[in-house]
């Protein structure tokens, strides 16, 4: 089948989080199963600059906010490594410095509604116009709110192209005002609760939910959770209404990029049966060299992620003074995000310079070193659609400590008497988010760390966890082939 992936970011071209990783690894897994997959992204400045040999394969006018944009679709036809990639070139909307979604001050770009509405309309037009006659998608697989209007525009165009819409994180929904709705020249009848109107504004993620042939999210547990008011971000009613048009398919990870056997970022390479213990030690020492920590033999805990409440970074900060008082543990944090968390982390580092190392910023290489060099990985997310870092930790034999939610619940098997006995335990888990329970679970995990035989068993089980894309890619294949049910 011909499948066009539409997304707002993709590793290695442009990445701000897990979405970028998945838009790299999922198409690769489908291609390995024989599918003909291509990817379409906005032509951000950074990506355009790296695609010097791209050619225009289509060009047309797309209505925007009161104006019309001349859109060019580019493709690096001569480059076999990148010829699956298409870029939607609209300089007025995407040729700017910085992050795809926010400006230098960390505020959303003021024209985000127009940027992603025009991108979505351009993708729908590109799909249906079949400008490249030889390649016309059977399915457009859309990801997150930035692409939510694609199924809506296809419906408006009465296109037969099937759509799958995947929600990677419901808390980012692309919610805009009535003023923006009117400016964007959208059909009037869409301004209704049945369609994309939502609590007095309109929502691009809702457009995906309403108009796509099928809606998925990135883990079975999150698919159930978002149908409840606690996790539904006010969309739980819409989502419950989808019935069996909604399903949860667990993300996999790229087993090549995250592979301790070949990883060039880490000091010593290892596998579950080769060099594991000695390499882990070398990787820990290598990581420590970059910090001011004096752990030597003390356990080292890692955290990597966006510094936002979702990830429970405030819970980690809340427990650190007690953790340092009651154990020898040291902690390494790599992340960037809300200023308040960044500042508080740096202040804590000043208070505990030999116990806490904070790296504010983004570093792919340090992320690999932390996964390989730490003894344990902290991921106490309040909610977690799927989560990749806990899977990277499993792959590197660094047991994750997580809240039982979303994809964390679907990938981590917490230590208990039973899971230790049947050798399925690969990490640690707690139920409700809170500083006290996080501290208690961490202290319990440290007790296991002090029992090398059991600890090594947990690390080995972690490394043997099934984390690849194979079975999930087959589930998506099945969805692509399922008949389309009637749309509105």
Pick the piece of the chain touching ligand ADP (CB under 6 A) from 15-23, 35-43, 127-135, 348-356: 15-23
Beta bridge partners of 56: 74
Buried b (16+ CB within 10 A) or exposed e, 365-378: ebbbbbbbbbbbbb
Closer by beta carbon to ligand ADP, 154 or else 304: 304
Beta bridge partners of 246: 215
Contact indicator for 299, 328 with CB cutoff of 8 Å: yes
Number of residues that bind ligand ADP (CB under 6 A): 17
Q: How far is the CB of 366 from ligand ADP (least distance, A)?
A: 7
Output DSSP code: residue 427. B
Q: How far is the CB of 220 from ligand ADP (least distance, A)?
A: 16
Q: How far is the CB of 358 from ligand ADP (least distance, A)?
A: 11
Pick the piece of the chain touching ligand ADP (CB under 6 A) from 16-24, 72-80, 287-295, 318-326: 16-24
Contact indicator for 470, 252 with CB cutoff of 8 Å: yes
Q: How far is the CB of 420 from ligand ADP (least distance, A)?
A: 26
Q: How far is the CB of 390 from ligand ADP (least distance, A)?
A: 7
Which residue reads 């390494």 in tokens?
332
Dihedral, CA of residue 464, residue 470, residue 471 and residue 476, to nearest 10: 150
In the three-class reduction of DSSP (H, G, I as helix; E, B as strand; rest coil), residue 263 is classed as coil
CA distance 209 to 197: 12
Asked if 21 interacts with ligand ADP (CB under 6 A), we say yes
Rg of the chain over CA atoms, in angstroms? 23
CA distance 377 to 360: 17
Nearest residue (beta carbon) to ligand ADP: 18
Asked if 334 interacts with ligand ADP (CB under 6 A), we say yes
Window 383-442: residues binding ligand ADP (CB under 6 A): 387-389
SS3 content of the chain, % helix, strand, coil (to 5): 40, 20, 40
Q: How far is the CB of 299 from ligand ADP (least distance, A)?
A: 21
Asked if 167 interacts with ligand ADP (CB under 6 A), we say no
Window 268-327: residues binding ligand ADP (CB under 6 A): 304-306
Beta bridge partners of 331: 301, 356
Closer by beta carbon to ligand ADP, 72 or else 382: 382
Closer by beta carbon to ligand ADP, 64 or else 335: 335
Asked if 248 interacts with ligand ADP (CB under 6 A), we say no
Asked if 362 interacts with ligand ADP (CB under 6 A), we say yes
CA distance 214 to 484: 8
Pick the piece of the chain touching ligand ADP (CB under 6 A) from 177-185, 341-349, 363-371, 470-478: 363-371
User: Site residues (CB under 6 A) for ligand ADP?
Assistant: 17-19, 21, 304-306, 334-336, 362-364, 367, 387-389
């Amino acid at each position: 089948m011909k499948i066009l992936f539409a997304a707002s970011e993709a590793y290695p071209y442009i990445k701000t989080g897990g979405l970028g990783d998945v838009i790299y690894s999922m198409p690769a897994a489908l291609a390995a199963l024989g599918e003909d997959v291509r990817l379409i992204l906005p032509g951000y400045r950074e990506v355009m600059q790296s695609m010097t040999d791209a050619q225009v394969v289509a060009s047309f006018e797309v209505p925007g906010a009161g104006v019309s944009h001349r859109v060019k679709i580019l493709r690096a036809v001569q480059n076999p490594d990148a010829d699956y990639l298409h870029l939607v070139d609209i300089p007025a909307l995407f040729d700017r410095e910085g992050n795809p979604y926010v400006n230098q001050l960390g505020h959303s770009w003021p024209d985000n509604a127009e940027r992603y509405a025009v991108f979505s309309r351009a993708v729908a037009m590109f799909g249906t116009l079949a400008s490249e006659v030889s390649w016309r998608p059977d399915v457009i697989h859309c990801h997150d709110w930035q692409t939510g209007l694609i199924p809506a525009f296809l419906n408006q165009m009465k296109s037969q192209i099937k759509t799958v819409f995947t929600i990677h994180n419901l808390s980012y929904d692309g919610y805009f005002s009535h003023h923006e709705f009117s400016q964007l020249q959208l059909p009037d009848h869409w301004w209704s609760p049945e369609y994309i109107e939502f609590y007095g504004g309109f929502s691009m993620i809702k457009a995906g939910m309403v108009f796509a042939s099928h809606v998925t999210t990135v883990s079975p547990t999150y698919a159930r959770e978002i149908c409840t008011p606690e996790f539904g971000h006010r969309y739980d009613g819409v989502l419950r209404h989808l019935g069996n048009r909604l399903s949860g398919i667990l993300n996999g990870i790229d087993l090549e990029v995250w592979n301790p056997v070949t990883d060039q970022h880490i000091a010593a390479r290892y596998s579950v049966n080769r060099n594991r213990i000695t390499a882990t030690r070398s990787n820990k020492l290598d990581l420590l060299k970059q910090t001011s920590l004096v752990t030597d033999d003390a356990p080292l805990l890692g955290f990597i992620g966006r510094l936002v409440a979702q990830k429970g970074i405030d819970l980690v900060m809340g427990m650190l003074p007690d953790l340092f008082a009651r154990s020898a543990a040291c902690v390494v944090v790599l992340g960037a995000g809300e200023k308040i968390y960044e500042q508080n982390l740096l202040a804590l580092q000043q208070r505990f310079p030999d116990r806490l190392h904070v790296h504010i910023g983004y570093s792919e290489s340090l992320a690999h070193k932390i996964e390989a060099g730490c003894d344990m990985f902290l991921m106490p997310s309040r909610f977690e659609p799927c989560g990749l870092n806990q899977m990277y930790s499993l792959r590197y034999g660094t047991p994750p400590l997580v809240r039982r939610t979303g994809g964390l619940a679907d990938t981590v098997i917490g230590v208990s008497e039973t899971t230790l006995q049947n050798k399925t335990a690969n990490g640690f888990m707690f139920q409700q988010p809170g500083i006290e329970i996080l501290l208690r679970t961490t202290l319990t995990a440290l007790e296991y760390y002090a029992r090398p035989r059991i600890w090594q068993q947990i690390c080995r089980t972690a490394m043997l966890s099934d984390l690849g894309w194979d079975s999930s890619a087959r589930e998506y294949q099945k969805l692509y082939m399922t008949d389309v049910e009637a749309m509105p």
